[in-house]
Amino acid sequence: TEACLTAIEGADALNAFVHKTPDIALERAKAADARLAEGEAPSMCGLPVGIKDLFCTKGVASQAASKILEGFLPEYESTVSQNLADAGAVMLGKLNMDEFAMGSSNETSVYGNAINPWRRGNEDTALTPGGSSGGSASAVAADLCLAATGTDTGGSIRQPAAFTGTVGIKPTYGRCSRWGIVAFASSLDQAGPMTKSVRDAAIMLEAMCGHDPKDSTSADLAVPDFEAMLTGDIKGKTIGIPKEYRLDGMPDEIEQLWSDGTAMLRDAGAKIVDISLPHTKYALPTYYVIAPAEASSNLARYDGVRYGYRAKLEQGDGITEMYEKTRAEGFGHEVQRRVMIGTYVLSAGFYDAYYNKARKVRTLIKRDFEEAFAAGVDAILTPATPSAAFGLGEVTDDDPVQMYLNDVFTVTVNLAGLPGIAVPTGVDRKGLPLGLQLIGRPWEEGDLLNTAYALE
């Protein structure tokens, strides 16, 4: 813990930790020592971790990287961060992210960008660690903590993992409790670990998840010993390669990475089959209707009354002006854009044309996966991202669709509620890490982790 606290102090340039909690960390580290001395050895005992700013942590600033939550000190602890603390993990502080987890580059954070510790060849250009869990990815990659929590609504664990050479798993929807995690799109949001290895991911996921009566969508299922399932034996497993993920204009390096990964799994004894997930092309538009719709509803609670920031009012301003000024000043551009899109697609005149249509297409996307699994596929291998990490400002705010295209391989997994993992498997010609994604059957994270283990 002390070594990590020192490393964090020396890494301000990465802007990964946005609230540091050294006192809490040292206190918990001592408590962990005491537990070990008592002969107790919980799975995360004494392991220093970072917590994404989206998780409410009791008495510690939890701002979802937004101005609107300025000064908010939760009176409760999220179930996931509590589970980690119960397992002995030591919280070092809170990690940078895109505002309300909306973004793929950490550029929408009120704290400014988190920076990727990797560099493109000899260039000085600062690169994004991806998003929205960019601070988590940067901190793990730069050895500021041993592991970190992330959340993933459309790829926010897997894309930053791929951009930083770390491992990130989004479990099946319902595996981790969402209680105490600031809501973005409730039917898609899941927490998960971001770590240096698949084994670490298995240990940390087990500590994070489990049934929670405080979240009605949390599954009442036993949590397996994921680490014990890491045998590396994938003989006889069937791996599907979906043809719809082969995009026009995809960089050769990504093609190469994907075929190398396929070859590795084949060499390890897996059977490789070509599959089709025909509704894949509708996934991005479907996600960018459903996620903003749910966000616009979830973000209605930030009204200047209950939480954090309230705009300064002038004589004669009424409650409407208070709402308007607070929300105009408190939310950044991307969040405002999502609230407007969401409100529009949910409005009486457009509900059927957009929101209901998107829900129907979501079902078709889910069915594509169900059919593949019913035909005997155990896991699906795809690239995690369409490129390596890009430079700050290279994909600008003027063109949101360009940024949304980053999520092309990851959003299907959230729409279908499936587990997905990003594993670093190569580098591009400038030496930047690249990752592959494996998608598994619902609730079979153990199997998925084991396949990822064979790929690592």
Catalytically annotated residues = 52, 132, 156
Residue in 116, 137, 155, 162 with CA at minimum distance from that of residue 434: 162
Beta carbon nearer to ligand GLN, 137 or 291 = 291
Q: In what order do the strands lie in the sheet with 167-170?
A: 17-20, 90-95, 48-52, 147-152, 190-195, 167-170, 420-427, 433-440, 379-383, 238-242, 271-275
Question: Nearest approach, Cβ of 154 to ligand GLN (angstroms)?
Answer: 3
Task: Select the span of 147-155, 231-239, 266-274, 300-308 touching ligand GLN (CB under 6 A).
Answer: 147-155
* Residue 294 contacts residue 185 (beta carbons within 8 Å): yes
Question: Nearest approach, Cβ of 397 to ligand GLN (angstroms)?
Answer: 12
Beta carbon nearer to ligand GLN, 11 or 101 = 101
H helix intervals, 195-251? 198-208
Task: Select the span of 146-154, 209-217, 274-282, 323-331 touching ligand GLN (CB under 6 A).
Answer: 146-154
Beta carbon nearer to ligand GLN, 189 or 447 = 189
Beta carbon nearer to ligand GLN, 326 or 382 = 382
Q: In angstroms, what CA-CA distances link 286 with 59, 102, 151, 298?
A: 37, 16, 20, 18
How many residues interact with ligand GLN (rule CB under 6 A)?
13
Question: Nearest approach, Cβ of 157 to ligand GLN (angstroms)?
Answer: 7
Question: Nearest approach, Cβ of 317 to ligand GLN (angstroms)?
Answer: 33
- Contact flags string 253-292 toward ligand GLN, x per CB under 6 A: --------------------------------------x-
For the segment 291-310, give every residue that binds ligand GLN (CB under 6 A): 291
Beta carbon nearer to ligand GLN, 230 or 411 = 411
User: For residue 355, how many C-alpha atoms fall within 13 Å in the half-sphere facing its CB?
Assistant: 19
For the segment 150-209, give every residue that binds ligand GLN (CB under 6 A): 152-156, 184
Q: In angstroms, what CA-CA distances link 214 with 26, 229, 315?
A: 30, 29, 42
- Contact flags string 368-407 toward ligand GLN, x per CB under 6 A: ---------------------------------------x
132 is a contact residue toward ligand GLN (CB under 6 A)? yes
- Concatenated DSSP letters of 72-125: ---SS--HHHHHHHHTT-EEEEEE--SGGG--SSSTT-TT-----S--STT---
Number of residue whose CB is nearest ligand GLN: 156
Q: Please tell me the total number of residues recorded for the chain in this structure.
A: 456
- Contact flags string 76-115 toward ligand GLN, x per CB under 6 A: -------------------------xxxx-----------
- Concatenated DSSP letters of 406-420: GGTTTHHHHHHT--E
State the Cα–Cα distance between residues 311 and 329, nearest whole angstrom: 7
Beta carbon nearer to ligand GLN, 101 or 198 = 101
Residue 259 is inside which H or E element, if any? Answer: helix 252-267
DSSP 278: G
Count other Cβ atoms within 10 Å, centred on residue 26.
Answer: 14
Binding-site ranges for ligand GLN (CB under 6 A): 101-104, 132, 152-156, 184, 291, 407
